[in-house]
A and B are shown apart, each in its own frame.
Chain A
Amino acid sequence: MTTVLAPVEGDAVGLSAVPDPVFSAGMVGPGTAIDPLRGPGVAVAPIAGTIVKLHPHAYVIVGEDGKGVLVHLGVDTVQLKGRGFRLLAAEGERVAAGRPVVAWDSALVEAGGRSPLCAVVALDAAPGVVTAVAEGAVRAGDELFRWE
């Protein structure tokens, strides 16, 4: 069982709230989304493991058991090409859960006309294996859901 932590502070609102069907329809996998507190903030590692992919707007961390978790900061934020995001860790780095990975500004993303909602997704997971999904206010590092 893997405990997945909230990467950012905000309100856990569920993947269905993400205005992108790739996430809201669960095409990438099960999980939840956080409507982040607006303003500058730091997104942290949701699990301990290796950062196998690090983009400014999204990252994937794989734990020792091979489970991969995707954190996607905002919708269509790939279009920003890194503007407004700053990497605080390196691809290939091993990190503890809760370690800062990317600094960003959710208010800036929103001001640019994009949703700042952060999807947190269990990759290659069947829908039923994500349990104890948090709802409402969470702080970065709080338990967000369990991956059985």
Chain B
Amino acid sequence: MGERKVTVAAEVGLHARPAATFVKRAMQAPMDISVGKVHGGSPVNGKSILAILALDVRQGETIVISADGEGSEEILDELATIAGTP
């Protein structure tokens, strides 16, 4: 299972534009994408805007993005970039 740890940099956290951009990219991935907070809570479906908004990741919090399968490394890199963009 590939994963990336990334600290969410946007002032609004993983909400609004960063959340919508993240989910839009995740939706294009053929494999499951999961997202969880490093500190506590179970991972949620990275393709669900509802799940991401409910996860409520604030600026400065670190998340783990996980995916498995062909092409997952590239997708994880892209998702980590989105989550880490201020």
Give the interface of A toward B (CB within 8 A). 21-22, 27-29, 52-53, 60, 62, 68, 70, 78, 123-124
Contacts and interface: CB of A to CB of B under 8 A. Distances in A.
Interface residues of B, number: 14
Most chain B C-beta atoms within 10 Å of own C-beta, residue among A29, A60, A70, A123: A123
Contact of A60 (B12, B17, B21, B50): B50
Nearest to B16: A22
B54 A60 contact: yes
Contacts of B12: 78
B4 interface: no
Contacts of B54: 52-53, 60, 68
Interface string B38-63: 00000000001110011010000000
A22 B17 contact: yes
Contacts of B20: 22, 27-28
Most chain B C-beta atoms within 10 Å of own C-beta, residue among A21, A28, A52, A62: A28
Given A27-B21, A27-B24, A53-B56, A62 B16 contact: no
A72 B16 CA distance: 10
Given A53-B56, A60-B53, A123-B53, 15 more contacts: A21-B17, A22-B17, A27-B20, A27-B24, A28-B49, A29-B49, A52-B50, A53-B54, A60-B50, A60-B54, A68-B53, A70-B53, A123-B50, A124-B48, A124-B50
B15 interface: yes
Contacts of B15: 78
Nearest to B24: A27
A115 B60 CA distance: 28
16 contacts: A21-B17, A22-B16, A27-B17, A27-B20, A28-B19, A52-B50, A53-B54, A53-B56, A68-B54, A70-B53, A78-B12, A78-B15, A123-B49, A123-B50, A124-B48, A124-B49
